Amino acid sequence: MSTLIHKADQIVAAPTKQEFTITVYAENQIGLLVRIAIIFSRRKINIESINSSPCEIESISRFTLVIHETEEVVRKVCRQIEKQVEVLKVYYNTNDEIIWQELALYKVSTNEIAEKVKVERLLREYGARAVVIRKDYTVFEASGHREETDKLVDVLSEVGLIEFVRSARVAIIKASAGFHEKLREFEAEQPSEEVVENEYLNRNEEVFTM
C-alpha cells in the first residue's frame, strides 16, 4: 500500500518500502565487507542482517544482506555494489522469490524447563532440537523465519530464558541455476584475454635499470 505525500503542487504516491534480500557473489578479499557496508551507510540505509559464507565455487564468497527499502533504491545500490572490483554479481529479491532461514539458539535453565515444560512437545511444536543438555543449562536450536523463531522466544521467556541469539538470514534464490552457470556465462561473454607474455624475463640488463 502506497503512502500519499505532498510534493510541490501535486500529490504523488511515495514508493513503497519493503524487505529485499541482496545476494552478492565476490572474491574472498579483506576489506570488501567494509566497501559493501559503506555503500549502505553513506545513503543512511540500515542493514537488517548480513551474512558472509563460501558459495559453491571455491574462493568465491556469498554475502546475503537484508534491507528495507524501495525497489528503485535497492536497484541503484546493487549497481554500486556490482561496480566494486572484487564483486562478480549482485542479485536482489523480494521474500516470495527466495527460500530463507535464520538459525536461533536458546539457553534455558535445565531445572526450570524440566519442571515446567513438556520438552518433547515443545520441541515438536517448534521444530527445535536440544544442542546441549547439562545439569545447569540446556541449549535449544531452531531455524526458520523470524516470526517462527520469535514464537519460541515467547514460550521460553516464561521459563527463564537465559540467553538468546539469532543468526543473519541465509537465502537461496528460487529461480537461480547456481552461480557456476553464471560464471561460465561471464567467461563466455568476456573471456580472459591472453595473458601478456612476460616481456621482461631474460632481459635483466634492461629491466634492472640501476
Partner 1 sequence: MSETLDILVEPTLKTAVATTTAEEVSLSGSRAVLEAFVAEGVDTIFGYPGGAIMPIYDALYDYHDKLKHILVRHEQGGIHAAQGYARSSGRVGVVFATSGPGATNLITGLADAMIDSTPLVCITGQVFAHLLGTDAFQEVDVLNITTPVTKWNYQVTDAKEIPAVLAKAFHIAKTGRPGPVLIDITKNAQLDKFAYHGYTKCNHIRSYRPKPIVRKEYIQQAAQLINEAKQPFVLFGQGVILGKAEKEFRTFIEKSGIPAAWTILGAGALPTDHPLNVGMLGMHGNYGPNVLTNECDVLIAIGMRFDDRVTGRLDKYAKQAKIIHLDIDPSEIDKNVKATVGVWGDCKETLPLLTELVTPRVYPQWVERFYTYRKIEEESLIEKELNPLVGQLTMGEVVHQLNALTKGDAIIVSDVGQHQMIACRYAKFNQSRSNITSGGAGTMGFALPAAIGAKFGAEDRPVVAIIGDGGIQMTIQEFGTIMQSGVNVKIIILNNQFLGMVRQWQQLFHDKRYSFVDIASPDYVMVAKGYGIPGNKVTERDELQKALQTMLDHDGSYLLEVMVGKEDNVFPMVPQGCSVSEIRLK
Q: Is residue 19 within the footprint of partner 1 (CB under 8 A)?
A: no
Q: How far is the CB of 30 from partner 1 (least distance, A)?
A: 8
| Cα distance between the two ends of the chain | 71
H helix or E strand, kind and range, residue 74: helix 71-82
Whichever of 99 and 207 has its CB closer to partner 1, that residue is 207
Please give the single-letter amino acid code of residue 103: L
Site string for partner 1, 35-64 (x = CB under 8 A): x--x---x----------------------
Which single residue is written with the C-alpha cell 520438552?
Answer: 119
Choose, by CB under 8 A, the member of 16, 27, 54, 129 that binds partner 1. Answer: 27
210 near partner 1, rule: CB under 8 A: yes
Q: Which lies closer to partner 1 via its Cβ, residue 67 or residue 152?
A: 67
Using CB under 8 A as the binding rule, the residues of this chain from 60 to 89 that contact partner 1 are 75-76, 79-80, 82-83, 85-88
Determine which residue in the list 56, 58, 136, 189 makes contact with partner 1, applying CB under 8 A: 189
Separation between Cα atoms, residue 71 and residue 169, nearest integer Å: 19
177 forms part of the interface with partner 1 (CB under 8 A): no
- Segment contacting partner 1 by CB under 8 A, of 113-121, 122-130, 159-167, 199-207: 199-207
Q: What's the helix, strand, coil split of the chain in %, to 5?
A: 30, 40, 30
Q: Does 209 bind partner 1 (CB under 8 A)?
A: yes
CB of 21 closer than 8 Å to CB of 45: no
| C-alpha cell of residue 178 | 547456481
Measured distance CA(149)–CA(143) in Å, rounded: 7
Surface-to-core class of residue 66, CB atoms within 10 Å of its CB (0-12 exposed, 13-18 middle, 19+ buried):
buried
Q: Which residues bind to partner 1, rule: CB under 8 A?
A: 7-8, 26-27, 30-31, 34-35, 38, 42, 75-76, 79-80, 82-83, 85-88, 186, 189-190, 192-193, 195-196, 198, 200-205, 207-210
